[in-house]
Amino acid sequence: MPAPTRSGIRRCGLQAVAAAAAVAFLGGCSVGIPDPAVPATVPSTRQPATPTITPGHDAAAVAARNMSFSAGTMLARGVPVGLSEGLADAPGWRRSGSNAGGTNLYLKSDGCQAAAKVRVNQWPLVKADDRESTAGLFAYLDPTILPKYLKPAALRWGGEPDKHGPTVDVLVLERAARPAGRAAVVLARVFGTAGSSVYVSVSCPSAPALAAARADVERWLTVVPPPD
């Protein structure tokens, strides 16, 4: 059997990332065995990592302003964002573990489930701008997901849950509850300059429960600006 090409390995790795996200979107709490070619995962953290230095880059200024889709170019190239574990501190929520693929899993007392992950080396997803790249991520997960199905939303960009702070633009895909099924939502962002992506999926037994769970995610789960 011929050895896989470099592009084939890269696509295989991205497919594994997509498969993991798709499982989470459908409300499951497990993913398959990670492919060795999948890019490394950035662990969730409550504190920024030890910074590196990029000459001429003001990380503090970037962290202090809203991270709109167009502002993504201000990030240092190749320095990934992070993701907090703050949802575990929200009332009714608890962390239920972290799987081998790096997804942090959360359960709520009303039956809602959430999965959150950051991936690095996401260069194959990068397009003209971060909004288009993020739409491309959804399309890669499911080619039937058109940009018109995606809605703009925001997560916290650093800061603390009980204080006003900057936000980061994301795109959202909502899926209404089907008969005997669950309502679900995915919030995602590709940071093209940083070469990383964030996606959070939430599923609940009902639409009202999902609305409350999404509000918890938007308040407690923080995208951590790069320390560089």
Alpha-carbon distance of 212 to 204, in angstroms, equals 10
Q: Is 149 exposed, middle or buried (0-12, 13-18, 19+ CB in 10 A)?
A: middle
Task: Classify residue 22: in a domain, yes or no.
Answer: yes
The predicted pLDDT at position 16 comes to 38
The answer to whether residues 91 and 5 touch, using CB atoms and an 8 Å cutoff, is no
Torsion of CA 117, 34, 43, 91, to 10 degrees: 50
- Positions of the chain with pLDDT under 50: 1-53, 55
Q: How many helices (H) and strands (E) does the chain have?
A: 4, 9
Supply the range of the domain harboring residue 120: 6-224
CA distances in angstroms from 210 to 74, 93, 111, 148, 169, listed in the order given: 33, 13, 10, 22, 20
Q: Note the Cα 43 to chain centre separation in Å.
A: 12
pLDDT per residue as tens digits for the range 122-164: 999 999 999 999 999 999 999 999 999 999 999 999 988 778 8
pLDDT given for residue 228 in this prediction: 67
Are 194 and 67 in contact, with CB atoms under 8 Å apart? no
Please state the pTM of the whole predicted model: 0.77
- H or E element, residue 12: helix 6-25
Do β-strands 222-224 and 151-157 pair in parallel, antiparallel, or remain unpaired? parallel
Count of C-beta atoms within a 10 Å radius of residue 77: 12
Counting the structural domains of the chain, the total is 1
Q: Is 186 within a domain? A: yes
pLDDT for 59: 80
pLDDT value at residue 102: 78
* Amino acid 98: pLDDT: 73
pLDDT value for 161: 78
1 in a structural domain: no
Query: What local confidence, expressed as pLDDT, does residue 57 receive?
Result: 64
